[in-house]
Structure 1
Amino acid sequence: MASFINILTHLTPPPFTAPEEYDGLEYRWKLFTFRPAYFKNELYLLGALLFYVAFFFLGQSINSRRAEKWCAPLSFSNTHWRRVNGYRNLLKDQFSSPYVNGLVRDGHSDFFTFSTGRKNVASLHTIFKLKPYHDLAQTLFQTFWALVDLQYNPKNDLQLDFKLFPSVLPHDFVWAVVVKDELKSIKDGRWDLTFTKTSENSLLPPNLSIMSEFADVTEAIFKSTAILDALKDPKIAPYFRSLSVTDQPQERPSKLSEPEKHVILSLVCPSPSHVDDLNGLVSALFPFVDSLSKISLRPETKSKLKKVRENLEKSLKVEAEQAKKEEVSREDQKAAKRKAEEERISKLSSAEQQKILERERKRSIRKSQGKAVRKV
């Protein structure tokens, strides 16, 4: 017992003894004494932790307010109702179900709304992809990399994706109006716009370019719709990125599928105090969608558009057949390997065959146990 006590005595650290010459700030309460000078490192760590937590909640609040203000209702200001920071009432006027499931959050920087129940529009997805203000590491990286790579320019992205009913757009084509500064990034990120050629148009502001498969498409759109006035509005210049009409997916498909027609408006999401600057443009999209059925193309243009899609369909079929052949080849190789292994085992003695069977049985048991754990 004495030896055990001696061991504990040696293992126990000596009590802390404050130097007698300490003459700094200290706080005393009964038997307790606190001397801040001895906790400088802990104070710095606590300050860093509090800064990180405050940064997280502040960034989360900034993104939430930016998305929520876009969806805000009418508010009362002194003597009259006015629209403040939002399009809720615009969507209420246009859709029977303007906010299905409300504002949906995916993390702290991505938000979604879904609207449906309107003539010519199957659905409207409003997608917010905001900068990660809540994440200190990502914010520092984006700030640093923007200084290193001048082409890197992360933005608060807002996209209004109108999925159209098939009968709304009688022709298949890809067309877009794009801010010139966005041409490179949009070509890299939108496969459907690789169908187009870029050109200038005197009817548009000088900072905008046309991306169209054929010039006839642009002429027909400007002739049949009234979108030009909205695009000329100087208020939208800081926020407008692109407006596109497309029958192709944004990413290259791996197989043939039924084409979907979309009108997509891509914006820089404005701050809550400037949301109303985009009222005119967003309001103009609904009559723009309704007027797409009036577009009339020349017969030779329709033939060229049809040929482009036929060539795409052929290439997708060839790729699908090639992928199927590769899959069949891999299955044949596995079958041949299995057969060779079975022939090898059949030539072994019964004892060795029994060992192999027992090993396979144990392996199958472990696999089944692993699946059961994952299900739980």
Structure 2
Amino acid sequence: MASFVNILGRITPPPFNAPAQYDGVEYRWKFLVFRPAYFQTEAILLGALLFYVAFFFVGQSINAKKAEKWANVYRDLLKTQFSSPHVKGLVRDGHSDFFIFSTGRRSVASLHTIFKLRPYHDFLQTIYQTVWSMVDLQYSPRNDLQLDFTLFPSALSHDFVWAVVDKDELKDIRDNRWDLTFTKTSDNTLLPPNLSVMSEFADVTESIFKNTAILDVLKDPKIAPYFRSLSVTDQPRQRPTSVSTPEKHVILNLICPSPSHASDPSALVAALFPFVDALSKVSLRPETKIKLKKTREAFEKTLKVEAEQEKKEELEQAREDQKAAKRKAEDERISKLSSAEQQKILERERKRSIRKSQGKAVRK
């Protein structure tokens, strides 16, 4: 008990000694006296805490309103295109990520609408992103919106990778989209000057522009502030480690508009559905089909070689681990023997080493 009292005595702060003279603001009520000048530090800390809490609630409200406004504006469009336009409604993952899952349409297995918004609810992250964007001109944090159409196999007439990309996005998309490494980047006179085409072969682009109406929509200046990329791909976005049946996707990446401008890209979003339906009409030259097939066969062969090499390395590592475990067990067994027996074993090992070295010398 005495030790507990001693501990309390050590951690209890000393009593506050109010000075005899005080000429600041003072509030009295009966025997209670409050002098604000003595609590300046506490007032600053409380103000900082209230600011942080207010920043959190305002920031999460901003992000929620963006996602909710988008969902409300495009609800009718999704209803006309899918039998289940909002399977679980607008799903929230944290305070800056939101999702809408739609399914039940010809040619489209599912549509994932993915919001990855800036962390306005997090004061420190917001400050970091703002300051770093001033230091690194290549760093540009944005509110990302992605519409990812997973297609049925029959929806894409041929396996290819193709994209239209805003030129400001080229570096970022090359760093984050492995599937687009199959393509070559070029300008196209049919597109606005701020857009580039990423295609495996020229006739892929020609056939897409010929058989779909997407070109007219991409020329609309109203979507320019929001458009990042539109891609068609039969390859995964990250490099695979094994051979598997790839999924086919149409992916639209946008900068998420503010709630007051949520309807600005509506023409582009609406045009995606006939665009997806028209992909089955894309026709390619026979030599292009052969080249596309060879490219994928060559990569699958590379994956198989890498998988075999990795399996071989794993087996070798397992053998090394097994040998190490045996050596450790043998060392533990020897350490328990008497010194005389240990000396015999060491002498036997020495003679064995001499014989091995002599045998190697004879073979040479």
TM-score by length of 2: 0.88
Q: How does 1:29-44 map to 2 (within 5 A)?
A: 29-44=29-44
Counterpart check, 1:255 vs 2:242: yes
Q: Show the counterpart of 1:146.
A: 133
Q: Counterparts of 1:337-352 in structure 2 under 5 Å?
A: 337-347=324-334, 349=336
| 1:373 aligned partner | none
Residue 177 of structure 2 is aligned to residue 190 of structure 1: yes
Match runs of 1:281-292 below 5 Å: 281-292=268-279
**Residues 1:39 and 1:298: Cα distance change in structure 2 (over 3 Å):** same
Equivalenced residue count is 333
**Change over 3 Å in CA distance of 1:292–1:20 after alignment to 2:** same
Determine the C-alpha separation between the residues in 2 that align with 1:212 and 1:273: 35
| Distance in 2 (alpha carbons) for counterparts of 1:196 and 1:16 | 74
Q: Secondary structure at the match of 2:264?
A: helix
Superposed CA deviations along residues 173-217 of structure 1, whole A, max 9, x for unmatched, are 000000011111111110011111111111111111100011010
How much has 1:171 moved relative to structure 2? Answer: 0.6
Q: CA 1:290–1:35 in 2, change beyond 3 Å: closer, same or farther? A: same
The equivalent residue for 1:358 is none
Partner amino acid for 1:49? L
Give the corresponding residue for 1:115.
102
CA distance in 2, matches of 1:245, 1:211: 10
The CA distance in 1 between the partners of 2:222 and 2:59, in whole Å, is 27
What letter corresponds to residue 38 of structure 1 in structure 2? Answer: Y
Task: Give yes or no for the alignment of 1:325 onto 2:320.
Answer: no
In the alignment, residue 167 of structure 1 is paired with which amino acid?
S
CA distance in 1, matches of 2:50, 2:16: 29
Q: How far did residue 13 of structure 1 move?
A: 7.0
Could you say which residue in structure 1 is the equivalent of 2:71?
Answer: 71
Show the counterpart of 1:18: 18
* Counterpart in the other structure of 1:177: 164
Q: Amino acid of the residue matched to residue 112 of structure 1?
A: F
Deviation at 1:14, TM superposition (A): 6.6
C-alpha distance in structure 2 between counterparts of 1:149 and 1:10, whole Å: 50
1:128 corresponds to which residue? 115
Deviation string 1:88-146 (CA, Å, 9 cap, x unpaired) is 11111111111111111111111111111100000001111101111111111111111
Residue 350 of structure 1 deviates from its aligned partner by 8.0
Structure 1 stretches of 5 or more lacking a match? 73-85, 352-376
CA distance in 2, matches of 1:12, 1:303: 82
1:18 is displaced (CA, Å) by 2.7
* 1:334 shift after superposition: 1.3
2:87 match: secondary structure: strand
1:278-311 residue CA offsets vs partner (Å, 9 max, x unmatched): 1100000000000000000000111111111111
CA distance in 2, matches of 1:34, 1:91: 61
Q: CA deviation at 1:337?
A: 1.6
Shift of 1:34: 0.4
RMSD value, Cα: 2.1
Match of 2:218 among 218, 231, 241: 231
Seen in structure 2, the aligned counterparts of structure 1 residues 67 and 37 have a Cα distance that, compared at 3 Å, is: same
TM-fit CA distance, 1:17: 4.0
Which amino acid in the other structure matches residue 27 of structure 1? Answer: Y
In 2: Cα distance, 1:11 partner to 1:290 partner: 73
Shift in Å at residue 349 of structure 1? 4.5
Correspondence for 1:307? 294
- Per-residue CA deviation, residues 329-376 of structure 1 (Å, 9 max, x unaligned), is 11111111222233334445489xxxxxxxxxxxxxxxxxxxxxxxxx
| Separation in 2, partners of 1:209, 1:13 | 68
- What is the identity, as a one-letter code, of the residue corresponding to 1:282? V
CA distance in 1, matches of 2:42, 2:269: 53
Q: Percent identity?
A: 71
C-alpha separation in 2, matches of 1:94 and 1:350 = 80
- Counterpart of 2:324 in structure 1: which amino acid? K
Q: CA deviation at 1:12?
A: 8.2
Letter in 2 for 1:314: K
Equivalent AA in structure 1 for residue 235 of structure 2: Q
1:87 paired residue among 68, 74, 77: 74
Q: For residues 265 and 17 of structure 1, do their structure 2 counterparts lie closer, same or farther at Cα, with a shift above 3 Å needed? A: same
Alignment of 1:166 onto 2:153: yes
**What is the one-letter code of the residue matched to 1:250?**
R
Gaps of 5+ in 2: 339-364
> Residue type matched to 2:243 in 1?
L
Q: Give the counterpart letter for 1:267 in structure 2.
A: L
1:101 aligned counterpart, secondary structure: coil
